[in-house]
Amino acid sequence: MPGTARRTLTPAVECARPVPLRPAWLEGSLALRQISDDIALPLSARPGAGWFVCIAVSLTALAVGVACVTYQIATGIGTWGLNKSVGWAFDITNFVFWIGIGHAGTLISAILLLFRQHWRMSINRSAEAMTIFAVLCAALFPLIHMGRPWLAFWMMPYPNSRGPLWVNFRSPLVWDVFAINTYLIVSLVFWYFGMLPDFATLRDRAGAGGKKRIYGLLSLGWDGSQRTWSRYETACLLLAGLATPLVISVHSIVSMDFATSILPGWHATIFPPYFVAGAVYSGFGMVMLLLIITRRVMHLQRYITLAHLDRMAKITLLTGSLVAFSYASEWFMAWYGGNADERFVFVNRATGRYAWAFWTMVACNVVIPQCLWLRRVRTSPAALLPIAILINVGMWFERFVIIVTSLHRSYLPSSWVMYYPTSIEIGTLVGSFGLFFTCFLLFIRLLPMIATWEIKGLAAAQARGRS
Amino acid sequence: MTSAPRHFLVATFSNEDALRAAAREVRDRGCRIHDVYTPYPVHGMDELIGIRHSRLPVATLVGGLAGCATALAMQFYMAVFDWPLNVGGKPANSTLAFVPITFELTVLCAGLVTAAAFLTRSGLVPGASTVPFADGTTEDLFALVLRSRDVTIDVAEAGRLLLESGAAQVVLKDVSR
Amino acid sequence: MSPMTKDATVYWKSLEELRAERHDSSSRRDEFVEPLPWKRTTGARAFQASTPPADPAVDGASRRDFLALMGFSLGAAACSRGTTQHALPFVTAPEDLTPGVPNWYATTCGGCSASCSVLVKTRDGRPIKIEGNREAPLFGGGTCAVGQATVLSLYDGQRLRQPLWRGAPASWQEVDEKIESQLRTTGAAQGRITLLSATITSPSTRDIIARWSRRYAGFRHVVYEPVSYAAIRRAHQTLFKRAVLPHYRFDNAALIVGLEADFLGAWLSPVEFTAQYARRRRPGRSMAHHVQFESTLSLTGANADVRHAVSPSAIGHLAMALLDRVSSADREPFAADMSLALAASELDALADRLLRHRGESLVVCGVQDVEVQTVVTRLNHVLGNIGHTLELSPCSFQKQGDDEEVATLVEQMQRGDIQALILYGVNPAYDYPNQQAFLRGLERVALSVSFADRVDETASHVHAVCPDHHYLEAWGDAEPVTGSFSLIQPTIAPLFETRAAQDSLLKWLGEAQDFHAYLRSYWQRNVFPLQTGRRNFEEFWDGVLQAGFLNAPVPVAATAALSGPVVATARRARDGQPRELRVGTADRFELHAYETVALRDGRHANNPWLQELPDPIAKVTWGRGLAIAPAVADRLDLQDGDVVTVTGGGVRVELPIWRQPGQPSTTVSIALGYGRTGAGPVGNGVGTNAWRFLGHGADGLLGLHPTVVALEKTGRFAPLAATQTHHSMEGRPLVREATLEEFLTDPGAGREAPEALPSLWAEHEPGSHTWGLTIDLSSCTGCSACVVACQAENNVPVVGKEEVARGREMHWIRVDRYYQGPASSPDVVFQPVMCQHCANAPCETVCPVLATVHSSDGINEQIYNRCVGTRYCENNCPYKVRRFNWFTYANNPRFDFNMNSPLGTMVLNPDVVVRSRGVMEKCSLCIQRIQAGKVAARQSGDSIADGQIQTACQQACPAKAIVFGDMQDPGSQAARFRQSPRHYHLLADLGTRPGVGYLTKIRNREARTR
């Protein structure tokens, strides 16, 4: 794209140059004040009916989840359908699923920043928010899946009276603890940093009163001084540079929960890249889902344009192909590796009692995304919405297939069993969606869901490009 | 800082081009620009104002190294020196297994140190009060501020110069801190 | 126990201690003047006591104990959610009871009439474990699952607390008065008094009964066995004029032919026979060959080298066919007019083989049919086996059922000819085929008394219930086989107001003597003279009491002279069968009823350990299905769990079906011992009552006579809870086997062990021991005694049918059973699997909190109170031996088994923690026994001898298939097994380097073409 040759730091520089950007990432020419008006509107205006319907549904789901988790913790893991051979099922499936969702946010805000993709500007704020909420949902499951969740803090190496007895640094679960917390903290910092200038804007828009004070606190006294701006952009770049390897490491480590085990179907070196690709894939599915709905409900079509959807769809197509390739190579290795047990597990996936789950996964992750080759599909919200949903269904089933079908047919046939989920497990899954959407719906009401300052820069640049 | 009031010449512009032009103008007249306030980062100003390259990366590096060292030290101490156990027949010092946590802590510390360094260096703290030279610089105004002391030419002259080079208005502000 | 106090000069730090020095030396080593509280739990008071903490302390409290207790209380806080403990102090401390140190008593198992010699482990006065008596030659030191479980029956909440009169609680005095007055009048009127008892192997009790017949003219003693062996006794009566049950000697048999006799599982005396069988089945030139003909895949059939699935009606013909072939005397052409499921050529071969092993072959038959048994006895006689592989003197007293007598009794009762009926150890209202007739008769009996320990099906209809002691509370003796005497002694004061049946019998005779005294005098009079070793009776008595048994020399009878018509009966055996039985038609099947390994005749139905014990073959718990051949099930479109009505012989029952490989297509099989209604909350309503299919045959014998049943699908579905649902090894080399020839040429044959790859890491420095197990798959019969033994030793909870169906059984050791070959006649292999204690354990690496680590002496340790329950270890365990506490299984009404009542928890082993909800558990290699062994060795000062420490599974194994030992000690049997060319590790190619190993299974037959 134009300007990549120039030694410049940030896309803002691109915007500064009177070079017309193709395509236009904002519809029409927008006055700077209008931009903040539009973006600040939801924070002051009374929500529309659509929002209330959504939040009602989400809160109901959340309530269901709370009830299920309470009952399960009070009664025991036995309220789930697990057994002597299948020690994990819904719990870890949901965990990996949500962690994966989170990855798209970091990718958009960090990696695309490094690649100077301007189109990220309209969506990165909400994508980062999604990341944080997804990681929260994910973190829930390793906690509640423990037999004795009230002892979860034992996973942390803290000085104690047991020797002190430390944790087992060889266990991928401990790696997870560190990875997920790091991911959550860094994402939060990055997210908050992005909002600093916007808080200042809101502070100055707000008349005297509580609102002003709150935004004043949040903005940390930001005054838009040139010195701060330039330092700020350096800081953002550095954080982006850190978040990029982080996001890759997190899902790699999650995949090591399986890759480092000796279970046929888990013990595979391809898992880290395979999982990262899958994560971004499902993440973009979720971003599309959220934004297609939000731009409609919040009337932000001018900021989140069809061109944005098109770009996201393209990335989805790319990562989807990576996932499909991973499936293929997994099967190839199972055959080529010559390990009878491994081979059996894969044949069993496609033909065994859980074949329906396997084929659902293949349909959603390999077949459906092929529609995205068509531009007409990529630019039609109506078409993208169902695809986005199906992609997430498919990715959920991918984790289910990996975990359950491998466990229920392991080395000793005498221990082969079936796993059937209970209502409690399903309720918990529903609840996690409730938590996620509740958080998101509150977010779009309480915080600027689009990076105002970046859009302003973009708008100015676009204006100049037009003139 | 002295308690005596300081005089500032504040010129506001409606777009960044005018700002840039004016800045270049006063700069050529040998005036040192005190600062510029903009709703979004305007580039090419740093050299006009004379902002040196940020040393934040150094902070990041230091933080990262610190995190890495801490992680390795912690794991070696706990797993090898303090209480070695026979876990799955693996050696007490399973260095490879220590890598993931080391990486995570490296990133974590680097990130936090960077953030902290930025905030302290820019004096951004909760409750920090700001007296803006001009309202709306976080909205759609671009303000160029000269400190009268640094104005080598006559202040009135400077004001006229700014107005000529496209300032919407120029005011003389006394700020007593 | 703390070495520092051993030879140090003793200082006293308080006057109490100084005073204590004089009388109580043990308290000298105590650190605390006040003994630690939990150590005071006593047998007498233990009823109020719930389980004490796990603590390997063996003597006076030291700092160690104190710390251990602190440790436990931490554990208790995390693990057992702080169950309240009522510990009451001794009023006067009993001698010879050191808190924390088990006391062992030798006694005789009351589980069934086989009367095995056992040792009982008591802790703080409570019997908590049954172990085989290794010194007893007859039974070889093993036990069966039932024997292991009897200790739990002692703490069965259903047991009566006091006698009942007409269903209402009463005092012994009033009950005695009422009974005695009634007996007086009856006796005066020369009325008929009948004692209906189960087999009584106790000579002294028989002596008391003899007094009754002397006292009352109208007295008669009838022995009732629901599964009667009368046909065998009758056959010997016919042939040798001696109605005896032979004493079988499988260890003398080089060729065993079993006809419908499950002698390793439930037939007559399984422990004894398994020991003999295993002795003779060790791979080598003298390894016995075993052929089994049966209509239900039994444990015995599963172990046979050659097994033929035949319908029950064919058994007689087979016996006759064999007799025709071997007896030169009365040979006559045998018309193979029916499907014997095997070609005449095979029969010829078998007959020749029998002839080649004259005098060292054994044909044993379990069919309750005089003709068939006569043929079989004749067969053994012709082959010259009498006196070698089956002895008429000594003979067995283990089953004495007298069927015609029972029949007449029931008739008389219905006629009202019986004035007084005393029921001792029988439950006809449940297991007598014609229960209605019996109950009608019972109504007309003027005085009916039962010694039942609970209000069972029969006891609920009698006038007086005079609860007998549990055998662990009682005195007694037994003579299972002529000359093999053993004693029964109390191991705990009676928990309730019960009274020994013998005491009641003596009391009602007006004898002043109590049974203990009577027993002693009886032995003084009758047993003492039989032996020459000891001169003084007291000495003799104490000796026997300590040893638990006595082998008196048996006068060897002259070899039985044959007399009586054989051919005639034999021909009847061949032609007597109903015609329609000779062909299996589409929807009509022959019925076979069998006793299961776990429940036998159903008297232990309220024992949760036995209900949850997976059947060795079907692997089904909590009830059994109607066994049907898979092919037939397919034809009838029946899936496991489809409920069918079984109609035939005027009986109609409903039960789910179970597709059973190895089942003849002409036959369906139904399990006895289920369908109790008066057993108690655990056993009631489990399974279906099949006794009504039995009956008195034309010859008056009680048993299952050829019955044809029709099946009808009801459309209802009642799933059965099986612990193993996949039955093929999928071609994986899990159980490795070879034929005897292959073994003799190459001892390592069939081992085909893939070489484990070299380890990436340096070996960890081993400690002073490396404990390990080796399991001989050739000896293991799959009897599952080890499963219950482990459950008893390690406080393994019972979880109930629903949880088992969900795949959540908690057994630490399981016996995997795989089928090979065609479903019509599969090979069966058994493989006990417990934690393999891998040196490179996958479970350890993945545990985030170090809750499972490796000990220096080779044990994979599970630290319950550190476990947070991520179940990662379970997922990563290739052997799937880890068991998770999905719920709180102790003191939880939802799991209302023994762990939910103060009475039931008395069986818990104080040395083992009761695990809480949310933690992982698994085989610990009986670490508490290892610790105890170490402590004992340290006290005695010498090293631990091989065999001194035995795991529970090893101790219980009647076949001695499991061997525990120190792999560092080259002399230990375990280490020698490990050196054997037959030795291999399960899934060795994973590089887990297990501490448990297996020896290949050797079959004594030609290789089967797979």
Confidence of residue C738 (pLDDT cuts 50, 70, 90): very high
Residue C845 distance to chain B (closest CA, Å): 5
Residue C793: pLDDT over 50: yes
Cα→Cα distances A14→A314, B21, B44, C371, Å:
23, 19, 12, 107
pLDDT at residue C735, rounded to an integer? 94
Residue B156 distance to chain A (closest CA, Å): 24
Provide CB contacts within 8 A for C598, sequence distance 6+. C145, C146, C610, C611, C613, C615, C784
Residue C87: pLDDT over 70: no
pLDDT at residue C580, rounded to an integer? 41
Closest by Cβ to B139, choosing from A32, A175, A178: A32
Say whether A168 and C878 touch across the interface (CB within 8 A): no
- Residue of higher predicted confidence among C83 and C817: C817
Confidence of residue C318 (pLDDT cuts 50, 70, 90): confident
Confidence of residue C702 (pLDDT cuts 50, 70, 90): very high
- What long-range pairs does A426-430 form, CB within 8 A, spacing at least 24? A426/A90, A427/A64, A427/A65, A427/A67, A427/A68, A428/A65, A428/A68, A428/A69, A428/A72, A428/A90, A428/A91, A428/A94, A428/A144, A429/A90, A429/A94, A430/A61, A430/A64, A430/A65
CA distance linking residue C204 with residue C159, whole number of Å: 25
CB-CB neighbors (< 8 A) of A245 in chain B:
103, 107
CA distance linking residue A114 with residue C904, whole number of Å: 69
Residue B141: pLDDT over 70: yes
Residue-wise pLDDT tens digits, C479-496: 999 999 999 999 999 999
CA distance linking residue C928 with residue C74, whole number of Å: 19
Confidence of residue C7 (pLDDT cuts 50, 70, 90): very low
Residue type, C614: P
Closest by Cβ to B87, choosing from C759, C845, C856: C845
- What's the DSSP call for residue B54? P
Share of chain C above pLDDT 70, in %: 86
Nearest to C464 by CA among C19, C167, C188, C722: C167
How large is the average pLDDT for residues C205-230? 94
DSSP string for C915-980: PPTT-EE----SHHHHHHHHHHHHHH-SPPPTTTS--HHHHH-TT--EEEEETT-TTSHHHHHHHS
Mean pLDDT check: name the lowest of C167-171, C257-261, C581-585, C591-595.
Answer: C581-585
CA distance linking residue C758 with residue C761, whole number of Å: 9
Residue A11: pLDDT over 60: no
Say whether B86 and C853 touch across the interface (CB within 8 A): yes
How large is the average pLDDT for residues C642-652? 93
Residue B57: pLDDT over 90: yes
In a 10 Å sphere around its CB, with 0-12 CB exposed, 13-18 middle and 19+ buried, how is residue A261 labelled? buried
Q: Is C103 on the interface with B (CB under 8 A)?
A: no
- Main-chain dihedrals φ then ψ at residue C345, nearest 5 degrees: -60, -40
Closest by Cβ to C874, choosing from A87, A149, A414: A87
Say whether C844 and B91 touch across the interface (CB within 8 A): no
Residue-wise pLDDT tens digits, C553-593: 887 665 556 655 555 555 554 454 444 444 445 678 999 99
Residue C121: pLDDT over 50: yes
Say whether A16 and B44 touch across the interface (CB within 8 A): yes
Mean pLDDT of chain B: 86
Say whether B118 and A175 touch across the interface (CB within 8 A): no
CB-CB neighbors (< 8 A) of B75 in chain C:
none
pLDDT at residue C132, rounded to an integer? 95
Distance of CA A381 to the CA centre of its chain: 20
Cα→Cα distances A189→B120, C305, C453, C570, Å:
15, 73, 73, 95
Say whether B87 and C839 touch across the interface (CB within 8 A): no
CB-CB neighbors (< 8 A) of C729 in chain A:
413
Q: Is A411 on the interface with C (CB under 8 A)?
A: yes
- Angle formed at CA A43 by CA A37 and CA A45, multiple of 5 degrees: 80
Q: What pTM was estimated for this model as a whole? A: 0.89
- Residue of chain C whose Cα is closest to the Cα of A153: C868
- Residue of chain A whose Cα is closest to the Cα of B48: A226
- Side-chain-side CA neighbours of C708 within 13 Å: the count stands at 13
Confidence of residue A156 (pLDDT cuts 50, 70, 90): very high
Residue-wise pLDDT tens digits, A164-191: 899 999 999 999 999 999 999 999 999 9
Residue-wise pLDDT tens digits, C704-731: 888 889 999 999 999 999 999 999 999 8
Mean pLDDT of chain A: 89
pLDDT at residue C51, rounded to an integer? 41
Provide CB contacts within 8 A for C760, sequence distance 6+. none
Residue A389: pLDDT over 50: yes
How large is the average pLDDT for residues A44-68? 93
Q: Are C304 and C270 in contact (CB under 8 A)?
A: no
Confidence of residue C432 (pLDDT cuts 50, 70, 90): very high
CB-CB neighbors (< 8 A) of C808 in chain A:
78, 83-84
CA distance linking residue A136 with residue A141, whole number of Å: 9
- Residue of higher predicted confidence among C344 and C401: C401
Structure tokens at C800: 């109930």
pLDDT at residue A109, rounded to an integer? 85
Q: Using CB atoms, which chains have 3+ pairs under 8 A with B?
A: A, C
CB pairs under 8 A between A and B: 193
Find which of C844, C859, C877, C993 to mutate to test the B interface (most B CBs within 10 Å of its CB). C844
Share of chain B above pLDDT 90, in %: 36
Contact map slice: C 826-885 vs A, CB within 8 A? 831, 833, 842, 845-850, 866-872, 874-876, 878-880, 882-885
Closest by Cβ to C884, choosing from A147, A162, A411: A147
Confidence of residue A8 (pLDDT cuts 50, 70, 90): very low
- Residue of higher predicted confidence among C294 and A20: C294
SS3 assignment, position C905: helix
pLDDT at residue C560, rounded to an integer? 57
SS3 assignment, position C492: coil
The residues with which C131 forms a beta bridge, in sequence order, are C119
pLDDT at residue C11, rounded to an integer? 58
Closest by Cβ to A226, choosing from B36, B118, B126: B36
CA distance linking residue C690 with residue C686, whole number of Å: 12
Say whether B51 and A227 touch across the interface (CB within 8 A): yes
pLDDT at residue C557, rounded to an integer? 62
Say whether A171 and C872 touch across the interface (CB within 8 A): yes
Q: Using CB atoms, which chains have 3+ pairs under 8 A with C?
A: A, B
Residue-wise pLDDT tens digits, C175-211: 999 999 999 999 999 999 999 999 999 999 999 999 9
How large is the average pLDDT for residues B106-132? 89
pLDDT at residue A50, rounded to an integer? 85
Closest by Cβ to C850, choosing from A168, A263, A344: A168
Q: How many residues appear in chain A?
A: 467
Q: How many CB atoms lie within 10 A of CB C311?
A: 25
Q: Is A417 on the interface with C (CB under 8 A)?
A: yes
Provide CB contacts within 8 A for C437, sequence distance 6+. C410, C414
Share of chain C above pLDDT 90, in %: 73
Residue-wise pLDDT tens digits, C13-54: 555 555 554 444 444 444 444 444 443 333 333 333 344 444
CA distance linking residue C136 with residue C117, whole number of Å: 6
- Residue of chain B whose Cα is closest to the Cα of C876: B88
Q: Is A341 on the interface with C (CB under 8 A)?
A: yes
Residue-wise pLDDT tens digits, C490-526: 999 999 999 999 999 999 999 989 999 999 999 999 9
Mean pLDDT of chain C: 87
Mean pLDDT check: name the lowest of A24-28, A122-126, A133-137, C337-341.
Answer: C337-341
CB-CB neighbors (< 8 A) of A30 in chain B:
none
Confidence of residue A463 (pLDDT cuts 50, 70, 90): confident
Q: Are A348 and A342 in contact (CB under 8 A)?
A: no
pLDDT at residue B140, rounded to an integer? 85
- Angle formed at CA C376 by CA C301 and CA C823, multiple of 5 degrees: 20
Structure tokens at C871: 């179940």
CA distance linking residue A357 with residue A397, whole number of Å: 6
Residue-wise pLDDT tens digits, C137-151: 899 999 999 999 999
Say whether A16 and B51 touch across the interface (CB within 8 A): no
pLDDT at residue A47, rounded to an integer? 86
Contact map slice: B 47-86 vs C, CB within 8 A? 85-86
Confidence of residue C617 (pLDDT cuts 50, 70, 90): very high
CB-CB neighbors (< 8 A) of A172 in chain B:
100
Q: Are C54 and C795 in contact (CB under 8 A)?
A: no
What is the ipTM, given to two decimal places?
Answer: 0.91
In the block, which residue shows the tokens 């270890």? C873
Q: Is C764 on the interface with B (CB under 8 A)?
A: yes
CA distance linking residue C873 with residue C838, whole number of Å: 13
Closest by Cβ to C846, choosing from A85, A152, A261: A261
Residue-wise pLDDT tens digits, A403-440: 999 999 999 999 999 999 999 999 999 999 999 999 99
pLDDT at residue A36, rounded to an integer? 85
Closest by Cβ to B89, choosing from C759, C850, C856: C759
SS3 assignment, position C983: strand
Provide CB contacts within 8 A for B76, sequence distance 6+. B93, B98
Residue C61: pLDDT over 80: no
SS3 assignment, position A153: helix
Residue-wise pLDDT tens digits, C380-428: 998 999 989 999 888 999 999 999 999 999 999 999 999 999 999 999 9
CB pairs under 8 A between B and C: 39
- Residue of higher predicted confidence among A65 and A227: A65
Q: Is A415 on the interface with C (CB under 8 A)?
A: yes
Say whether C875 and A411 touch across the interface (CB within 8 A): no
Residue C834 distance to chain B (closest CA, Å): 18
Confidence of residue C124 (pLDDT cuts 50, 70, 90): confident
Structure tokens at C922: 């698994």
- What's the DSSP call for residue C526? I
CB-CB neighbors (< 8 A) of B91 in chain C:
761-762
Structure tokens at C732: 């994986």
- Main-chain dihedrals φ then ψ at residue C15, nearest 5 degrees: -65, -35
Find which of A143, A415, A425 to mutate to test the C interface (most C CBs within 10 Å of its CB). A415
